[in-house]
Structure 1
Amino acid sequence: MTEDIFEEIDDDIVGEEIEQGDSEGGELHEHYRFVADKGQSLIRVDKYLTMHIVGISRNRIQQAADAGNIFVNDTPVKSNYKVKPNDVVTVMMERPRRELEIIPEDIPLDIIYEDDDLMVINKQPGLVVHPGFGNWQGTLVNAIAFRLKDTPGYDPKDPRFGLVHRIDKDTSGLLVIAKNELTKAHLASQFFHKTSKREYIALVWGQVAEDSGRIEGNIGRSLKDRLQMVVFPEGDYGKAAVTNYEVVERLGYVTLVRCRLETGRTHQIRVHMKYIGHTLFNDARYGGNEILKGTRFTKYKQFVQNCFAICPRQALHARTLGFVHPRTGEEMLFESPLAEDMVQLVDKWRGYIASRDTNS
């Protein structure tokens, strides 16, 4: 049970690939809390936790620290931090402990492929993926539990089944679901070894200068704001992350881009694009819900506000998902058309640019 609690820190290897991190609002949940004794001698926090948590490996603790999940006195620390007397050491995760009950719910799903081993779902924006703070029911996991409730051996609380990777509540697009342990292990291995294919379409603020590019930089939880992830270009904090992007269409003060992931980190595309100066359009978590580019004219400001209303979320869609079928060995490739709100958003920007060019 203890290993399961920590599995979500291994973004790819255990299949809990967190492309943008299904943290559902960024809320962290306390899994363990220890208060060091008054006579506590100085000891590394990874060793301290290994001594206090039954069945956990020191390597797991170190991975948790790298991911920003180990806190001392409410501040994230690295694994070499020395615990002192009266320190409050906590392990914080992005999901509640697995003791929560998963209630099957008959929630409509857009299933674009299904067989005895897996199913591929086109997730609508606004659907929370995993139960968590403020969203205990009505999630994708509840819907999957209902869909698979008659599958032999299926247990919605068993991490060996179900979600292979996750995307944010407000990100639309493709997800693959495993119906058995063998399928999940095989797919998780593909995500870890980067043999799966994942492409996203995003609308970002500003004119992206290069037609294509590669963004590298460790991603970890912000030391100033727990709800945000940030890039650490130097040092060993956070986890290595790589995003490749290509310009699809230039639309004046915004750009439509295609992003291909080599890794799967929490909020990866959102954080990497902001890092190079192109925050996702209407991404409230990272400031994209402000007018970051354009004019000061009232008419333009109203146009942007209308755009925000059309697509009231970060403009990000998981368009392409490819993998090798665990049982048949067949190359599987799925594509999902842009969600309707993003279609309308892009069309509105096209109309704005055409009108501007006509009047200039």
Structure 2
Amino acid sequence: MGIERTVEAGAPERLDRWLADNVEAFSRNRVQQLIEQGAVSVNGEVCDRKKELVTAGDYIILSVPEAQPYELTPEDIPLDILYEDDQLLIVNKPAGMVVHPAPGHATGTLVHALLFYCGEQLTGVGGVQRPGIVHRLDKNTTGAMVVAKTETALCNLQQQIQAKTAKREYLGIVNGAPKAEQGTIDQPIGRHPKHRKKMSILPVESGGRTAITHWKTVERLGNYTLIHFQLETGRTHQIRVHSAYLGLPIIGDPDYGSTRFPGVKLPGQALHAFRLTLSHPITQAVVSAEAPLPDQWKILLGQLRSRLR
């Protein structure tokens, strides 16, 4: 499929931004993928530079490649479906499940499960390795996560995430007791300069990206606290890094806190995406899904509450 456009009058603009603004069917992330794949030509010449400036009169062709067969083998892994229709589904991701294939996780991912559950419906939606994936959760973070079934839904949902109109709410159990009842953490996050698998608070001039997390106390449990987090941005490990920055690390977090926690063996950090609210990509109706607390959380909260009696 080829999409042809001519740049109208206006100031020079980056190629990826111009395409994302002028081709409604594709998000900026998807446009960038296509540019890198050599699927875009400007004035008859292939351009694989997303930062290339286009100006009035430039003739652009976006050649969308035909859907390729999956390189991944679908796996019959049970899914906990919170919501589903012909455009999207919201799953309750368990701890221990990686969202998409990566080094060291070639099988058993959410993508493998989705390929089995959705079959050919996901063909070509967002690429071969991450079909339908709108956003991700860390391996040991549990809870609600939306998956797109169509390219239109993928583009729309990604735009909602980028525009901050999709509401992502989390619950976390932290080690410590905040002095305030609520607050906002506005600290840029980037790749840790020494530990490349970790993130850290990093100035923008050193490569950090804007990261904003809103939080409020839900329940005080002695030296532990149940906190409600709401993301305004979605950086890798954002809540975990910001919580540690406050001196309130998520319990069970092996990277930014302490793996020590009372009583119950959690599979990872005590962070749960409990509610996801968005606009339906076709009808614009509000879609809201809540993921119940994992059983280990219920046991842990019960034990912490019993200590206060």
Which category of TM-score, normalised to the shorter sequence, fits these structures? 0.7 to 0.9
Which residue does the alignment assign to 1:106?
A: 76
Do the aligned residues in 2 keep the contact of 1:183 with 1:326 (CA within 8 Å)?
yes
1:228-264 deviation per Cα after TM superposition (whole angstroms, max 9, x unaligned): 1001256352110000000000111111000000000
> How far, CA to CA, are the matches of 2:165 and 2:79 in structure 1?
27
Q: 2:301 is matched with which residue: 346, 349, 357?
A: 346
> How far, CA to CA, are the matches of 1:256 and 1:329 in structure 2?
33
Residues matched between the structures, number:
255
TM-superposed CA distance for 1:312, in Å, is: 2.9
Do the aligned residues in 2 keep the contact of 1:160 with 1:180 (CA within 8 Å)?
no
Which residue does the alignment assign to 2:271?
A: 316
Q: 1:56 is matched with which residue: 46, 49, 52?
A: 49
RMSD: 2.6
> How far, CA to CA, are the matches of 1:14 and 1:234 in structure 2?
21
Report the AA paired with residue 328 of structure 1. Answer: T
TM-superposed CA distance for 1:122, in Å, is: 0.7
Q: How does 1:218-229 map to 2 (within 5 A)?
A: 218-229=188-199
TM-superposed CA distance for 1:346, in Å, is: 1.3
Q: How does 1:100-249 map to 2 (within 5 A)?
A: 101-151=71-121, 153-154=123-124, 157-158=127-128, 161-233=131-203, 235-249=205-219
1:274-331 deviation per Cα after TM superposition (whole angstroms, max 9, x unaligned): 011111001011132147xxxxxxxxxxxx3x33x2x131000001101110111101
Q: 2:29 is matched with which residue: 14, 27, 30?
A: 14
Do the aligned residues in 2 keep the contact of 1:102 with 1:156 (CA within 8 Å)?
no
Structure with the bigger RCO (C-alpha within 8 Å, sep 6+) is 1
Report the AA paired with residue 350 of structure 1. Answer: R
> How far, CA to CA, are the matches of 1:209 and 1:120 in structure 2?
35
Which residue does the alignment assign to 1:78?
A: none
Do the aligned residues in 2 keep the contact of 1:160 with 1:181 (CA within 8 Å)?
no
Report the AA paired with residue 175 of structure 1. Answer: M
Report the AA paired with residue 270 of structure 1. Answer: R
TM-superposed CA distance for 1:157, in Å, is: 4.1
Question: Which segment drifts farther, 345-354 or 162-171?
Answer: 345-354
> How far, CA to CA, are the matches of 1:241 and 1:156 in structure 2?
25
Taking structure 1 as reference, are residues 269 and 14 closer, same or farther at Cα in structure 2, changes over 3 Å only? same
Taking structure 1 as reference, are residues 101 and 156 closer, same or farther at Cα in structure 2, changes over 3 Å only? farther
Report the AA paired with residue 326 of structure 1. Answer: P
Taking structure 1 as reference, are residues 158 and 133 closer, same or farther at Cα in structure 2, changes over 3 Å only? closer
Do the aligned residues in 2 keep the contact of 1:220 with 1:238 (CA within 8 Å)?
yes
Structure 2: runs of 5 or more not aligned: 1-15, 17-26, 31-46, 53-67
> How far, CA to CA, are the matches of 1:126 and 1:160 in structure 2?
18
> How far, CA to CA, are the matches of 1:265 and 1:160 in structure 2?
18
Report the AA paired with residue 299 of structure 2. Answer: Q
Q: Secondary structure at the match of 1:165?
A: coil
Taking structure 1 as reference, are residues 152 and 225 closer, same or farther at Cα in structure 2, changes over 3 Å only? closer
Q: Secondary structure at the match of 1:283?
A: coil
Which residue does the alignment assign to 2:253?
A: 283
Q: How does 1:32-47 map to 2 (within 5 A)?
A: none
Q: TM-score, normalised by structure 1?
A: 0.66
Q: Secondary structure at the match of 1:151?
A: helix
TM-superposed CA distance for 1:204, in Å, is: 0.5
Q: Secondary structure at the match of 1:191?
A: helix
Report the AA paired with residue 290 of structure 2. Answer: E
Do the aligned residues in 2 keep the contact of 1:123 with 1:173 (CA within 8 Å)?
yes
Which residue does the alignment assign to 2:64?
A: none
TM-superposed CA distance for 1:153, in Å, is: 4.5
